[in-house]
Amino acid sequence: MIELTERRKAILAIVIRDYIVTAAPVGSGAIADEHDLGVSSATIRNELAALEEAGYLTHPYTSAGRVPSVKGYRYFVEQLMETGSLESRERRTIREQFAEAGWEPEAWMQLSALVLAQVASSASLVTAPKSPRSQFKHMELVALHADLVLLVLVLADSTVEQARFHLAETRTQEELSALADQLNEQLVGLDRHAIAAAKFPELTPAPQVVEWVLELMASVDRRHSGEMIHAGLEYVLQQPEFSDAGRATEVLQVFESRDYLEPILADVAWRHRGVRVIIAGEDRWDAVSNYGLVLADYGAAGTRGTLGVLGPVRMPYERAVGAVRYMSDLMSRLLRELHGTA
């Protein structure tokens, strides 16, 4: 393993930053001409060769210039990049936009997706904050006809679920409302595991209704992340990496199928805090092996969501990290104020 001297670090950072902007291999002559390193083009060429030998750079077969490897990007992100906050003018504009949106979390999600896409020039994604385990808040039982009943279930994070079930025996609306009131008192604040372990009245059909509630809550818990909003796909499709129709179709599928992104978003929301950079899938998520992601959790009052940006592996990580960090902090602060926990 070669030592990364200060000069090699500087050259590696130059290659990565220039390649992010141009999408073209970076040669020793261009570095010597455009950056005052105080050494000759031949010296820079030797340093590039050493960085390539160590695995931080590679080069296309037909080019003498170098491009970053995944290892090079990772070293850059962890050791070399400079991430500051957004400019005060940008922060002020964003705050004004959120003030106009009022106190509507759904509007905040839409706006944060648009802002992230514009600021980072990448595709953005935002998931609604939710609890790791759904908690019961309220239920209603509505008689439809004969033995058919509508169960309306409201959870602590304001999720509303509905389902129709058949009772073993027909019940009047008065009987169903009385049972719902009785169960509401006993179930409020409980997750499905606590509900399953509790004892309830033997009065029929209470056990059957509780089973319905457990089924709905289990379904919600299986959905690892909440609703996902995205914006800015046009920024990704404009990149040369996606000029091929097959690659363009691939990136559209990543957003359209929750199966690709949901495991990653759940992992970021509940196992990590702060900004996380995922480069080429990190040998864990093959579905995003052609992309870079910058993600962060956000939330308040026991709920967590994820927001961030997706682009080619050659994405502007410094800008993206600053934008994602700011939006995560802003969304969390707004939610704390909304829930009265600020």
Q: Give the end of a domain, one of 40, 60, 80.
A: 80
Token code pair at residue 310: 């997706």
What pLDDT is stored for residue 257 in this prediction?
A: 78
Name the token pair of 104.
């509507």
- 42 and 188 belong to one structural domain: no
**pLDDT given at position 334:** 94
Q: Containing H/E element for 271?
A: helix 258-271
Q: Which among 183, 199, 222 is the end of a domain?
A: 222
Is the separation of the CB atoms in 176 and 149 below 8 Å?
A: yes
What residue type is 130 in one-letter code? K
Q: What is the pLDDT along the chain (342 residues), one digit of tens a residue?
A: 677 999 999 999 999 999 999 999 999 999 999 998 999 999 999 999 999 999 999 998 777 799 999 999 999 999 999 987 899 999 999 999 999 998 888 899 999 999 999 999 999 999 988 777 788 999 999 999 888 999 999 998 778 999 999 988 888 999 999 999 999 999 999 988 889 888 776 666 888 899 999 999 887 876 655 678 999 999 999 999 998 899 999 999 998 877 788 888 877 876 778 899 999 998 888 889 999 999 999 988 778 889 999 999 999 999 999 999 999 999 999 999 987 776
Angle between helices 317-339 and 105-120 (to 10 degrees): 170
Residues 141 and 31 both lie in one domain = no
Q: Is residue 1 part of a domain?
A: no
CATH number for the domain that contains residue 218 = 3.30.390
Based on the fold, state whether residues 292 and 231 are members of the same structural domain.
Answer: yes
Is the domain of 241 the same as that of 107?
yes
Residues 116 and 192 in one domain: no
- Predicted pLDDT at 219: 79
If one counts every other C-beta atom within 10 angstroms of the C-beta of residue 316, the result is 20
> What is the residue range of 56's domain?
6-80
Q: Which of 222, 242, 268 is the last residue of a domain?
A: 222
Report if residue 14 sits inside a domain: yes
95 and 233: one domain?
A: yes
**Is residue 18, in this structure, part of any structural domain at all?**
yes
Task: Give the CATH number of the domain where residue 22 resides.
Answer: 1.10.10.10
Question: In Å, what is the CA distance from 259 to each residue of 222, 225, 263?
Answer: 12, 11, 7
Judge whether 73 and 10 are in contact, CB under 8 Å: no
Are 253 and 108 within one domain?
Answer: yes
d(CA 160, CA 139): 9
pTM (predicted TM-score): 0.76
Taking alpha carbons only, the member of 290, 221, 210 closest to residue 252 is 290
Give the count of alpha carbons within 13 A of 195, CB side only. 28
Residues 35 and 73 in one domain: yes
Q: Is residue 230 part of a domain?
A: yes
Same domain, 281 and 184: no
- Same domain for 241 and 331, yes or no, is yes
Instruction: Indicate whether 273 and 284 sit together in one domain.
Output: yes
What pLDDT is stored for residue 21 in this prediction? 95
Same-domain pairing of 93 and 170? no
Q: What is the DSSP string of 68-118?
A: E-HHHHHHIIIII----PPPHHHHHHHHHHHHHH-S-HHHHHHHHHHHHHH
The number of domains in the chain is 3
